[in-house]
Amino acid sequence: MIALVFAGLVAVLMACATYLLLQRHPVRMVIGLGLFTHAVNLLIFGTGVSERGLPPIIVDKASFAGDISQYVDPLPQALILTAIVISFGIVAFLIALLHRRNSLEAVESCTDRVDDPFAMEPAHALEGVEEDYEWLEDVVLMNEINNSKGSR
Amino acid sequence: MDLFANWLAAPVVVPLLFAATSLLVATRVNLRQIRVQRTLALIASVLNLGVALLLLRTTAIEGQRIVLYAGAWQAPFGITMVADALSAIMLTLTALLMLAIVVYAMGTLDQREGMNFYPLLLFLLMGVNGAFLAGDLFNLYVFFEVLLMSSFVLLSLGGRPNQVNGGLRYVVLNLIASTVFLTTAGVMYGTLGTLNLAHLAERMALAPESLRIVLAGMLLIAYGSKAGLFPLFFWLPASYHTPHPAVTAIFGGLLTKVGIYALFRIYPLLFPELLATWQPFILLIAGLTMLTGVFGAMAVRTIRRVLSFHVISQVGYMVMGLGLAASGNELALGFGMAAGIFYIVHHMIVKTALLMAGGAAELTMGTGQLEPGHLGGLAKRWPWLAVIFFVAAFSLAGIPPSSGFVSKLGLLQAALDAGQWPIAAVSLLVSLLTLMSMVRLWQRGFAGPLEATRVPQRSPHRWLTLAPITMLVLLSLGIGIFSAPVFGWARVAAEQVLDRDGYIQAVAPTDVIAPVGTEH
């Protein structure tokens, strides 16, 4: 029964994630990715859950006489912990990138753009290394100014 | 033997230690910090190369497998690291490329050098090395993520507009692929109760065929999009030309090959029978990957985009090797795989050299456009770079006596032995188109009159830039001329990869519940 609930939950989450990932709006894509990773975490969690789930802690190993199969498998929880940290980090980085993009250019509403969710102004979407490096120097300077502000 | 097994931890631990140490000095962007980080990165890559060569000697030449049980936990329970000839060959190549790229970065990098470039590079090295040594599926996933995480930051380092845009595509598509990989790992654990590769190989026989097909298909999607296979490669040309040339060079040489390595490792081990039944499908993907890659390369107009598309087309050749691994002919069985592995060796060296040379050309001329009035006439401004680029380009196209010729010959022979003439024809056609594309690069970028282009603010340091490229190109020529020993290592690697029983015995997973119906 509980496995069925998990399966249903995972399916619903996956469906929502797919729907959001297919949207053009970048923020929806980020939320979709978050849901997608959560769905997978639940899926792995579901593999460790049994009907009679005792916590997998055996205090006295010498006098243990119970049935191992009554305990929950602890490994999936360790796996999920790792997976959560990784997906959290990546989604955080993605949000930082999106923020960076928005601060670089006041783009008109991204939902208006049909072809490409990440498209920017045509001048910046040009390929190659056509931009000059002065631009980057400004960034470095800005960082230094920010750092010196922080240290005061 | 036990003492030596601990060496397996070194390719992961050494970069980690050096990266962490060089982060400690990163308090403020100044010249001293950059010098310390450079030195640490150089020491780390030299040490890493030493360890990799040590492992190569033990595995590829002596034909052993080395297994490290972390914390002395027995196989299915603890973390297992396994090195065989394939792992060691990949580790050695990675170490070589990393050394070259550190020197190249010293010569070419701009302000981004101060933004912790070298620690990020070392974290990337740690992830790649770990992925080559992982003995279970979940650690493979974790090391994939380590290398992806550092590659995300390296790709968008500096935060210029087109870098941010390319980075977004790269991150989203790679996160989806990783999540598919994680799903597969979850399903495998849920159904087969283990994640250790050797243990999985034992138990896979218990799984119903439908489950095996689902798992194999999901892994093909996950690794295929990392490797840049035919329908899943779109993130690569969207992002690879945006970062600094040093970053493009290491990505083009290294990252897609981790996906290829995973395919080469997992498929023969877990799904040997699917390798035979899916052979037409795998070869179809290989052919389409080659063709789309080379056509894409002919359609784009900047030097690094052309070279990025060639990464895709070359990945097709490697998958062709995987497809030929399962041909019925006993003689050709190991041969196709060995040719594929040899192709990886050739490709990693030559592609990195080409991307480095192309990037240096871009930096010298201040533009990468292959149009009249932009890039052009570089042979007059920097003749040595032009010579090196010429040799590397013709090695990529497969002109003798370069390594490209030997590797393509090997694949062709394997295809004809297996009676797969369509893929042989496609590979020849793609070879020809690659040659055309390289000639176009040469004509537009290096030959011709020196155009009046604007001079960049900072030209690359000539010898620091040229030295690593020359080293790699000479290596490619050396492998082409003295191909027998290297092909011998590839042969050993292919035999070890296809020898499932040997792998299982080497890792020796202790099974709590004895598997029923397996042949072991």
d(CA A49, CA A77): 10
Nearest CB to B362; choose among A83, A119, A129: A129
Question: Under a CB-based contact definition with an 8 Å cutoff, are residues B52 and B456 in contact?
Answer: no
B144-188 pLDDT, tens digit per residue, is 999 999 999 999 887 777 888 888 888 988 999 999 999 999 999
Band of the pLDDT at B18, cuts 50, 70, 90?
very high
Residues pairing with B66 in the sheet: B83
pTM greater than the 0.80 cutoff: yes
Asked if B168's CB is within 8 angstroms of A118's CB, the reply is: yes
The pLDDT of residue A140 is 58
Structural domain contains residue A149: no
Structural domain contains residue B511: no
At residue A49's C-alpha, the angle toward residues A45 and A53, to 5°, is 140
Interface residue B159 vs chain A (CB under 8 A)? yes
Highest mean pLDDT among A112-116, A139-143, B58-62, B383-387: B383-387
Domains in chain A: how many in total?
1
- Among B68, B72, B78, B59, smallest CA distance to B13 is for B68
For A74-79, which contacts have Cβ atoms below 8 Å and span 24 or more sequence positions?
Answer: A74/A48, A75/A48, A75/B189, A76/A44, A76/A45, A76/A47, A76/A48, A76/B186, A76/B189, A77/A45, A77/A48, A79/A44, A79/B138, A79/B185, A79/B186, A79/B189
Structural domain contains residue B513: no
Nearest CB to A100; choose among B164, B183, B362: B164
Structural domain contains residue B512: no
Q: Which residues of B225-253 are buried (b: 16+ CB within 10 A; e: fewer)?
A: bbbbbbebbebbbbbbbbbbbbbbbbbbb
Structural domain contains residue B518: no
Give the domain extent around A106: 2-56+69-123
Structural domain contains residue A138: no
Nearest CA in chain A to B171: A94
Structural domain contains residue A25: yes
- The CATH number for A112's domain is 1.10.287
Asked if B183's CB is within 8 angstroms of A43's CB, the reply is: yes
Band of the pLDDT at B328, cuts 50, 70, 90?
low
Paired tokens of B112: 């981004």
Domains in chain B: how many in total?
1
Question: Which residues of chain B have a CB within 8 Å of the CB of A124?
Answer: 161-162, 165
Asked if A86's CB is within 8 angstroms of B457's CB, the reply is: no
Is the pLDDT at B310 greater than 90, yes or no?
Answer: yes
Give the domain extent around B341: 2-453+460-506
Question: Under a CB-based contact definition with an 8 Å cutoff, are residues B227 and B131 in contact?
Answer: no
Chain B stretch 345-364, residues whose beta carbon is closer than 8 A to a beta carbon of chain A = 362-363
Structural domain contains residue A81: yes
ipTM, two decimals: 0.84
Structural domain contains residue B344: yes
Question: Which residues of chain B have a CB within 8 Å of the CB of A125?
Answer: 162, 165
Structural domain contains residue B424: yes
Nearest CA in chain A to B186: A44
Pick out chain A residues at pLDDT < 70.
Answer: 49-52, 65-66, 105-152
